[in-house]
């Protein structure tokens, strides 16, 4: 086995760690779980070895994990609807919630990057879908 080391923002690293933590809690297949835990361990070691790990960002990390947990449920639910070919109002709401939650996820990652002085800051450029104030 081999690996590649690439520079990433703190937000991206902590997002990946949060997703792997969720997978390690929810996946039951032993082979998949071994792979997930292997990657999680490597990333946690890299994170803990960096001076930024000493900063108090517990609230941001918890928020990032929470949004990823919501996305996990949404993805499961929308795939069940897709499998059943049920494209009702609930399907539409689930589909919309994916980008709403992903926008929140991007916001938290950016806040982490700014709080920790990351050399890299992910930027998004999407059409603003939120209703304008009247």
- Total tally of structural domains belonging to the chain: 1
Predicted structure pTM score: 0.91
Does residue 61 sit within a domain?
Answer: yes
Does residue 38 sit within a domain?
Answer: yes
Residue positions counted in the chain: 134
Confidence of residue 58 (pLDDT cuts 50, 70, 90): very high
Return mean pLDDT, the chain.
94
Does residue 3 sit within a domain?
Answer: no
Does residue 89 sit within a domain?
Answer: yes
Predicted local confidence at residue 132, as pLDDT: 65
Does residue 85 sit within a domain?
Answer: yes
**Cβ(43)–Cβ(6) below 8 Å:** no
Using CA atoms, how far apart are residues 8 and 118, in angstroms rounded to an integer?
Answer: 9
Give Rg (Cα) of the chain.
Answer: 17
Does residue 66 sit within a domain?
Answer: yes
Does residue 131 sit within a domain?
Answer: no
Does residue 60 sit within a domain?
Answer: yes
Which residues span the domain enclosing 48? 10-116
In tens, the pLDDT along 65-111 reads: 999 999 999 999 999 999 999 999 999 999 999 999 999 999 999 99
């Amino acid at each position: 086995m081999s690996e590649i080391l690439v520079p990433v923002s703190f937000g991206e690293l902590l997002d990946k760690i949060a997703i792997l933590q969720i997978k390690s809690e929810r996946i039951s297949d032993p082979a998949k779980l071994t792979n997930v835990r292997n990657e999680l361990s490597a990333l946690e070691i890299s994170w803990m070895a960096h001076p930024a790990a000493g900063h108090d960002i517990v609230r941001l990390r918890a928020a990032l994990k929470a949004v990823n947990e919501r996305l996990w449920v949404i993805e499961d639910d929308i795939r069940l609807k897709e499998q059943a070919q049920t494209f009702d109002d609930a399907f539409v709401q689930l589909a919309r919630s994916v980008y709403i939650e992903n926008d929140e996820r991007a916001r938290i990652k950016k806040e982490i990057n700014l709080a920790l002085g990351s050399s890299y800051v992910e930027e998004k450029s999407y059409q603003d879908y939120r209703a304008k104030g009247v």
